[in-house]
């Protein structure tokens, strides 16, 4: 079995230097780092995690508890962000999916405790209020894409739904659109309400009259069991004598149905009606023709920044808890026309 001494001999460095490279410690000379990494690869050296745990009392393993994130394509980038951070910092992560089951979550916390996990990223598929349920397990935790329902103080990383909606609305108004429709997501979702409120505030600040704003519910009901009205309400709005020149959709999947509604009555996008979405779910936003202008949820950054914050917490458990709110960038594509 290859040992750390073998790596040090081949690389021409000390055992301590190899250890520093393996543990991704700072201030290692780049040339030395490269030599050690090459020796590790050539020899097939695998660090002894059990020995490392005994020496440092740190496993260098991050646990990720998700609801449906790992099985949902458009939020899987959160996990990719964590993975990239872990790879760059010599960490490993364990991912466990609860499928929304609290009892399953309790078991995961106990499993993580038994494996001496250093810290946990508690990740939600959508922006919502929820309290982790660790029971008597005490592991440093950062909540990602969710906030504590109880109002307790916690480290939190969430998207700025309000800013994204505000910027989208300003984008349309800046292109001459003064008759706007808004098709709302399920109001039980935090993000849905933040986006709708920002739309209304921005439209009013721009002096758009109430009669030039058409608002419809596209979905409602229990989350995961919603009733969907998007196609029907889009047809209704698009058939008005004074139809809006632009429609803002609660998310990209809604925008797909609005495209279909517009095309079904012979309207051209964006010549006859402009359409924008939210999320930048690229299976939809890039597949639509013309491609969809939307606001991108920063899924990758949520994961990466969440891992960064967890490491900061592990390095200093006296840090004040903080909420980081990440911007949702407007992605300009072909679904919006200038309004003369």
Pair (170, 286) in one structural domain: yes
Residue 27, in any domain of the structure: no
Q: How far apart are CA 108 and CA 102, in angstroms?
A: 10
Whole-prediction pTM value? 0.81
Pair (132, 242) in one structural domain: no
Question: What six digits make up the tokens of 36?
Answer: 């050690």
Q: How far apart are CA 216 and CA 209, in angstroms?
A: 17
pLDDT string in tens for the chain (340-residue length) = 778 888 888 888 888 888 787 777 777 888 888 888 888 888 887 766 545 544 555 668 999 998 876 556 667 889 899 999 999 988 888 888 888 788 889 899 998 888 889 999 999 988 888 999 888 888 999 999 999 998 888 999 999 999 999 999 999 999 999 999 999 999 888 999 999 999 999 999 999 999 999 999 999 988 778 899 999 999 999 999 999 999 999 999 999 999 999 999 999 999 999 999 999 999 999 999 999 999 999 999 999 999 999 999 999 988 999 999 999 999 999 999 998 7
Residue 268, in any domain of the structure: yes
Pair (221, 278) in one structural domain: yes
Query: What number of H helices and E strands is found in the chain?
Result: 12, 14
- Domain at 319, CATH number: 3.40.50.2300
Range of the domain at 124: 61-159+299-327
Residue 33, in any domain of the structure: no
Pair (89, 101) in one structural domain: yes
Range 207-223 burial, b when 16+ CB lie within 10 A, else e: ebeeeebbbbbbbeeee
| Domain count of the fold of the chain | 2
Which residue in this structure is represented by tokens 């990383």?
157
Pair (144, 165) in one structural domain: no
């Amino acid at each position: 079995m290859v040992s750390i001494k073998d790596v040090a001999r081949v690389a021409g460095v000390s055992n301590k230097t190899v250890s520093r490279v393996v543990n991704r410690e700072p201030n290692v000379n780049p040339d030395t780092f490269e030599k050690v990494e090459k020796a590790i690869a050539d020899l097939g050296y695998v660090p002894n995690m059990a020995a490392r745990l005994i020496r440092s009392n740190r496993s260098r393993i991050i646990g990720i508890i998700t609801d449906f994130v790992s099985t949902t394509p458009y939020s899987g980038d959160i996990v990719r962000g964590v993975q990239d951070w872990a790879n760059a910092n010599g960490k490993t992560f364990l991912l466990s999916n609860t499928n929304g089951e609290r009892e399953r979550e309790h078991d995961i916390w106990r499993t993580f405790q038994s494996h001496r996990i250093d810290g946990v990223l508690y990740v939600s598929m959508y922006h919502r209020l929820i309290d982790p349920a660790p029971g008597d397990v005490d592991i440093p935790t950062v909540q990602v894409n969710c906030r504590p329902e109880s109002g307790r103080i916690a480290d939190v990383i969430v998207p700025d739904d309000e800013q994204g909606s505000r910027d989208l609305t300003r984008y349309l108004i800046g292109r001459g659109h003064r008759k706007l429709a808004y098709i709302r997501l399920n109001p039980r979702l935090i993000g849905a309400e933040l986006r709708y409120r920002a739309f209304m505030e921005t439209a009013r600040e721009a002096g758009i009259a109430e009669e030039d704003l058409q608002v419809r519910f596209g979905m409602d009901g229990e989350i995961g069991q919603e009733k969907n009205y998007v196609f029907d309400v889009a047809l209704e709005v698009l058939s008005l004598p004074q139809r809006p020149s632009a429609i803002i959709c609660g998310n990209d999947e809604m925008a797909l149905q609005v495209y279909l509604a517009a095309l079904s009555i012979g309207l051209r996008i964006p010549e006859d009606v402009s359409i924008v979405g939210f999320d930048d779910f690229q299976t939809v936003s890039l597949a639509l023709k013309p491609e969809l202008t939307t606001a991108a949820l920063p899924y990758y950054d949520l994961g990466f920044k969440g891992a960064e914050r967890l490491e900061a917490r592990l390095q200093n458990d006296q840090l004040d808890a903080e909420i980081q709110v990440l911007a949702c960038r407007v992605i300009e594509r072909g679904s919006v026309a200038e309004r003369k």
